[in-house]
Structure 1
Amino acid sequence: MRVRWLWLALLVVALGLALAVQRGWLELPPRWDPRTPLDVRAPPDWLSGWRLWRLRRDPALCAQVLASSQLDYVSQPDSRLGTDCPLRNVVRVKAGEAALNDSFLATCSLAVSYALFEHHGLQPLAREILGQPVTSVDHFGSFACRRIGGGRRWSRHASANALDVGAFRLADGRSISLSGHWQSAGAEARFLRAVRDAACEHFQGVLGPEYDAAHHDHFHLQVGGFGVCR
C-alpha cells in the first residue's frame, strides 16, 4: 500500500511540474525545458528522444529543427492527391557533412534523423576507429512506391521514410562497404557494427546483414514503424 501511495505522490508531483512549466510559473534553462526545439548540432541528452518524437508530429517544428543541421537540402512540393504513394513534408537531401553518391528524397523527420546520425554517430566513429572522416556516403535510394515483400503492407520507402546505405568512402579514398567488410576481421568490420549501433539511437528501425539475406549489403534506416535494431 505504501508503494502505491508513493507512486501516486510522484505522479502528482510530475504533473504539477509539467503544469508549472506549461503555464510559465516555473522557468527552466532552455537545455532542460522539454518545449525547447531539438538542435541537431547539440550533444544528445535525456530529452533528445522526446524532442525528436515531437517534431515527427509537427511539420513546422521539423522544418525549424532541420534548418539547424548541416544538410544541404531543398524542400519539395507535396504529391498530388490520388497517387498510390503520396509524399508529404518532403525534402531532397543533396549532401551532409559527407557527400552523397546521389541526392535522395526524405521526409523532414528522416532527414533530421540522418543529420543526427551523421553528426553524432557516423563521423565521430570514423575518426575514432579509422582515424579519418567519412567523405562520401553511398546509398541505394530512399523513395520507392512498393509494398513489403510483395505483401499488403506498404514499405517505409513508399513514404520516403527509409534510406538504404551500402558503403562509406574515407578521406584516403578507401571504401568501407557492407558487402565487402561486414564479415571481415579488423577495424572495418568493427566500424560497421559501431555505425549500426549508433544508427539505432536516431532511427526507429535499423536492419542490416544480421537481420536477413535481403539486407546483406546495406543498412535499412527508417523512421516510424517496428523499432527493430539488427
Structure 2
Amino acid sequence: MIVATALRWLRHVATLALLVALALVVFLVVRPAPQDLPWTPLRLDQPPGLFTGRKLAALGRDAPACRALLRDAGLKFAAVPPHGSDQCRMQDSVRIVPRQDMLVLSPTVATACPVAAGLLLWQAQVVQPAAQRLLGTTVARIEHLGSYSCRRMYGRSGGSWSEHATGNAIDVSTFVLADGRRVSVLRDWSRDDARGRFLHAARDGSCRIFATVLSPDYNAAHRDHLHLDEADRGDLGWRACR
C-alpha cells in the first residue's frame, strides 16, 4: 500500500516536471513578446498583446503608475480634481491636452486615466494604421459622445452602474480624416466599402486594449458609437467585444 502510494506520487511529480520542462522549452523557442506576458511592465509604444488590456484596466488601482505611463509616452494631460459622490465618484481622472500628432479628442474630455492610456495606444497602434491602410490617409481627430455620466446602465432606474458613472468609459462616434472626410459609426458602420471596413478594424483592434467594447453589432443602443471602457474585473475577469 505504501509502495503503491509512493509510486503514484512519484509519477505525479515526474509528470509535473515534464510539463514544466515542456513549458520552458516552448517559452525559449517561441520567445513571446513582452506584451504577451503577464509580469512585464506595460508600455504604450508596443503593439497590444495578450495581457495589454488587463494591465491597462489594473491601472485603475494605481493612479501614480497610470500618470507616469502617460508622461513616459509623451502625452500631456491635466489632472482633474475629484468630484461626484458614491457610485458617481470621478477620481484620479485626467484631461488630455490636444496635440495634432497625438490623440486629438473633440471636444476635449476628462476620463479615468486608464481610458486615456487605452485611447493613446488604440490611436497609435490600431486607428492610424487602419486609416492609412484602408482610407489612404490619417485620422486628424476623434469625436465622441462623452465620458462621465452619473447613471446606471442604459439609464435605467435600477441595476448595475455604468462605467460612465466614474468616467471609466468613452463613446466614440466619428473619425475626422486629415483630408476632411468624416467616417461616422451611425452612417458608415454597415457600408460594404473602405469606410465600413475601417470602422470594423477600429472596433476589432480595440478589443485587445479595452475591457469592454460595444458596437452597433451589439444592440440598437450602440448604433451610433463604439463604447470603450476599462472595467477592472481582475486578471482573469470577464471581457466583452461585440
TM range (shorter): 0.7 to 0.9
Q: CA deviation at 1:107?
A: 1.0
Which one has a bigger Cα radius of gyration? 2
Match of 1:87 in 2: 90
Change (3 A) 1:201 1:176: same
Look up the match of 2:215: 208
- Provide structure 1 residue ranges, at least 5 long, that are not aligned to the other structure: 14-30
Note if contact 1:125-1:194 (Cα within 8 Å) is conserved in structure 2.
yes
Q: Does 1:52 align with 2:56?
A: yes
Q: Which amino acid aligns with 2:119?
A: Y
CA distance in 2, matches of 1:163, 1:38: 21
The partner residue of 1:219 within 212, 222, 226 is 226
1:155 lines up with 2:162 in the alignment: yes
Larger CA deviation: 86-95 vs 2-11? 2-11
The yes-or-no answer on 1:145 pairing with 2:150 is yes
8 Å Cα contact 2:57-2:210 kept in structure 1: no
Q: Which amino acid aligns with 1:52?
A: L
Contact between 2:57 and 2:114, CA under 8 Å: does it hold in 1?
A: no
**Deviations 1:170-213 (CA, angstroms, capped at 9, x unpaired):** 11100000111111121000000000001111001000100000
1:143/1:159 contact within 8 Å kept: yes
Mapped partners of 1:4, 1:52: distance in 2: 38
What is the aligned counterpart of 1:176 among 171, 183, 189? Answer: 183
Inter-CA distance 207–11: structure 2 relative to 1 (3 Å threshold) = same
TM-score by length of 1: 0.81
The alignment's C-alpha RMSD in Å is: 3.0
Q: Which runs of 5+ in 2 are unaligned?
A: 1-7, 22-33
Q: Which moved more, 1:104-113 or 1:94-103?
A: 94-103
Number of aligned residue pairs: 215
SS of the aligned residue for 1:95 comes to coil
Q: 1:42 to 1:209 in 2, by over 3 A?
A: same
SS of 2:240's partner is: coil
Tell me the residue number matched to 2:16. Answer: 8
- Rounded to whole Å, the distance in 1 between the matches of 2:18 and 2:110 is 44
Q: Is the counterpart of residue 124 in structure 1 residue 129 in structure 2?
A: yes
Identity rate, percent? 37
Q: Please, what TM-score do these two structures have when normalized by structure 2?
A: 0.77
- Could you tell me whether the CA contact under 8 Å between 1:156 and 1:162 is conserved in 2? yes
Query: Once structures 1 and 2 are overlaid, which stretch shifts more, 148-157 or 194-203?
Result: 148-157
1:223/1:54 CA distance change after superposition, 3 Å: closer
Q: Judge which range, 63-72 or 101-110, deviates more.
A: 63-72
Deviates most, 199-208 or 59-68: 59-68
Aligned counterparts of 1:51 and 1:7: Cα–Cα separation in 2: 32
Give the alignment partner of residue 75 of structure 1, picking from 68, 75, 79. 79
For 2:116 and 2:14, the matched residues in 1 are separated by: 42
**SS of 1:176 mapped into structure 2:** strand
Instruction: Note if 1:188 corresponds to 2:177.
Output: no
